[in-house]
Homo-oligomer: A and B are copies of this chain.
Amino acid sequence: MYRKADLSPILEELDATEGLDGLQAVSIGLRDALEIDHIVYHWVDSAGEQYGCGTYPADWIQRYIDKEYLRVDPVIVGCFQRFHPVDWKAVDWSGKAARVFLADALKNGVGNQGYSIPVRGPSGQFALFTANHNCSDEEWSEFKETYGHDLILIAHYFNRKALDFEENRSPQPVRALSPREVDALTFLALGYSRAQVAHSLSISEHTLRVYIESARFKLGALNTTHAIAKALSQGLIVM
């Protein structure tokens, strides 16, 4: 039976942390306190870039990036679609690429049990906070039972810190879309043609075009499709 560790010092340490190196240190402390194999915070950037920190072996992290496992990893997909924390056993490993990925992960020091918490920030920011261990299903259930709540909170704080660092680095000048621009992009995202959208909004197609173009400009998008993709992934419009 698990005896629950006191995590309040970890939370305090997390609160006072500065910089990614600090998060790295906290994740090591947390891993030790929880007596599991790995703790990983993984920021998945909308541009496909990614950074994170945690206790995975450096080899594996490099391999993950090199092999573009991000596109294969079913945990990422599963978390992206859900709000609940995700147990690795519950995601879809049926794809061939996914099974190859899993085998490779296990070979590189990743434990068989995982529990990943999706965290979302403004502008479509998305990250994962994962606890990983090598043990039986029963032990893992007990672990989740014991620390589930705490992990959610800690995931929240990890992401908060990561966002703070990011903000310091690049204060993004996100210029908001005007209501009409939002309308226009929303209808386009729903699959309507420009003519239909113009009709729906009771404006001329020419006017509609102006909105689309100014939205494109504001979003720094190369074309309408890009604008809609950006607006969607930044949470500026919702389908």
List chain A positions with a Cβ less than 8 A from chain B. Answer: 11, 44-48, 70-71, 76-77, 80-84, 95, 97, 118, 120-126, 149, 152-153, 156, 159-160, 163, 176, 179, 182, 186, 188-193, 221-226, 228-230, 232-239
Contacts and interface: CB of A to CB of B under 8 A. Distances in A.
A197 to B, nearest CB: 11
Contacts of A121: 83, 120
B152 A191 contact: no
Contact of A48 (B11, B48, B239): B239
B81 A234 contact: yes
A126 B154 CA distance: 20
A47 B239 contact: yes
A226 B83 contact: no
A49 to B, nearest CB: 10
Q: How many protomers of this protein does the assembly include?
A: 2
Residue of A48, A81, A238 ringed by the most chain B CB atoms within 10 A: A238
Contact of A223 (B47, B149, B193, B237): B193
Given A192-B222, A230-B239, 15 more contacts: A71-B238, A80-B238, A95-B176, A118-B122, A120-B235, A123-B239, A125-B238, A126-B235, A156-B156, A191-B222, A191-B226, A225-B228, A229-B229, A229-B232, A233-B239
A163 B118 CA distance: 14
A72 to B, nearest CB: 9
Contact of A191 (B124, B221, B235, B238): B221
Nearest to A44: B238
A185 to B, nearest CB: 9
Contact of A189 (B122, B192, B226): B226
A193 to B, nearest CB: 7
Cβ-closest 8 pairs across A and B: A191-B226, A191-B222, A46-B238, A120-B120, A189-B229, A80-B235, A83-B121, A81-B235
A222 B189 CA distance: 10
22 contacts: A45-B238, A46-B182, A46-B239, A76-B238, A77-B236, A80-B122, A81-B122, A82-B122, A83-B122, A84-B160, A97-B179, A120-B121, A126-B235, A149-B153, A152-B156, A191-B221, A191-B225, A224-B225, A225-B225, A228-B228, A229-B229, A232-B232
